[in-house]
Structure 1
Amino acid sequence: MEHKIIVVGIGPGSKEYMIPAAIKAIEQAEALVGSNRAMEQYGKKEGQNQFIIHAELNRAMVFIRSQLAERDVVVMVSGDPGYYSLLDAIQQIFEDEVKIEIIPGLSSMQVAFAKLGLPWHDAELISMHGRKAPGERMVYQPGKILGFLTDKKNNSKTIPAMLRKMGWPARTMVGICNRLSYPDEKIIITTIGEAAKLETVYLNCVLVVKS
């Protein structure tokens, strides 16, 4: 195909955390795909063909294919395209047919480590967003650092409780990072012992655990 798919990382939420190349691609897009939140924030161009992604990804892929005959398609994904995003599905379907360009973005994981003032090159990064706990990667070791993406089931309360059962000391530090980059951003630094008892539970957030 003559036209291409441009997968754009829109970062953790705020436009301030997006790179200029991502903003330019979205503003120039004739066909734009993204979540409802992303479209509300960035789908402002008049006459732009837009598709809001819901649970059924097949419909999004059909829209992308229909647009490629006449124009490039820009697909917005939260965080960075290379870290648990729609990029995998797009590559599986279109990689042999069309050029796929990737514009990186800041993942919420990167932002969480930065906010906590911690390097993350040695951290074990784990997504439990819609995924089961990878037990072997969560085993306690002195000096170990973990970063978690969470969801409704695996959250700021249940994950610390899991770690306690796996031998992590109650005094182990955990940073609970919620709605990063937004005006109502909240960061709580506590211990996994106390986090397991917290009354307020944070769902889609980032947990950083440092032994």
Structure 2
Amino acid sequence: MEYKITVVGIGPGSKDYILPIALKKINEAEVLVGGKRALADYASEGQKTAPITVDIQAVIAFIRTQSLEKDVVVMVSGDPGYYSLLPALRNEFTSSRLEVIPGISSMQMAFSRIGIPWQNADLMSLHGRLPDYASLAYEKGRIVGMLTDDEHNSQRIAMLLLDAGWPQNTPAYICEHLSYPDEKIFAVSLLEATARDAVRHCIMVVMG
């Protein structure tokens, strides 16, 4: 018998934004894997748990061992299909063993918060990744959504875009702590973004 590995998207953070089917899978799990915050929020007594850490191979090894005898549920923030653990799991396990439950990504929520469609936006992640500077080039009407990190924060990204030819008055939205009580969304120009305090882990949407 092949035991299932179910990858569950738990949304941007608040429990208000997790799908009922995802919550059902989590509650029924015998073995539950997820970030420390996710485990604190969703794990229940009697479940065997393991945190997702920077040591991804250790996490994979735990899942492999546990899935020899039981189904395993893996919680990932946002949507599993958008910069999550799913690619690493696909490299280790056959697709027949993987079940994926979607979730609301922070990128999706950022666009909904500012009330604009995102089907024509260019999406990229600068979270732990070096930017492809050619991909930052200005084009009139272009919309870009970006995941940020400590180095490529809102201030640094604004500087890079200005260097890439974006006008100083280009509208930008800095979306921080989405779905949480302390959620903040700042509407600024790129020039203003270079002068204000850097926001590190956020979604930044720029509208050319």
Question: Would you say same fold, with TM above 0.5?
Answer: yes
Determine if contact 1:124/1:137 at 8 Å carries over to the other structure.
Answer: no
Q: Deviations over 1:72-129 (max 9, x none)?
A: 1000001100001000000101126x51000000110000000000100000001000
Q: What are the ranges of 5 or more consecutive residues in structure 1 without an aligned counterpart?
A: none
Distance 1:95 1:148 in 2: 31
1:145-184 matches, cutoff 5 A: 145-184=143-182
TM-score (ref. length: structure 1): 0.96
Shift of 1:158: 0.2
Aligned residue for 1:99?
97
Aligned counterpart, 1:8: 8
Post-superposition Cα deviations, 1:175-201, rounded to whole Å, max 9, x if no partner, equal 000000000000000111100110x22
Question: In the alignment, which residue of structure 1 is the partner of 2:70?
Answer: 71
* TM-score w.r.t. length of structure 2: 0.98
> In structure 1, what is the Cα distance between the partners aligned to 2:195 and 2:126?
20
Letter in structure 2 aligned against 1:36:
K
CA distance in 1, matches of 2:57, 2:103: 24
User: Could you tell me how far apart the structure 2 residues matched to 1:71 and 1:40 are?
Assistant: 22
Q: How does 1:22-37 map to 2 (within 5 A)?
A: 22-37=22-37
1:204 aligned onto 2:187: no
State the AA in 2 paired with 1:38: A
CA distance in 1, matches of 2:162, 2:60: 42
**3-state SS, counterpart of residue 150 of structure 2:** coil
Aligned position for 2:124: 126
AA of the residue aligned to 1:4 = K
- Once the two structures are TM-superposed, the CA of residue 138 in structure 1 deviates from its matched residue by 1.2
User: 3-state DSSP class of the match of 2:167?
Assistant: coil
Q: Which residue identity is paired with 1:124? A: D
Unmatched 5+ stretches in structure 2 = none
Spell out structure 1 runs of 4+ moving beyond 4 A: none
Counterpart of 1:118, as a letter, is I
What amino acid is aligned across from residue 69 of structure 1 in structure 2? L
- What is the Cα-based RMSD across aligned positions, in Å? 1.0
Identity of matched residues, %: 49
Helix, strand or coil: the match of 2:195?
A: coil
Q: How far apart, CA to CA, are the structure 2 residues paired with 1:121 and 1:104?
A: 18
Secondary structure of 2:135's counterpart equals helix
Amino acid of the residue matched to residue 201 of structure 1? A
- 1:2 is displaced (CA, Å) by 2.0
Residue number in structure 1 paired with 2:109 = 111
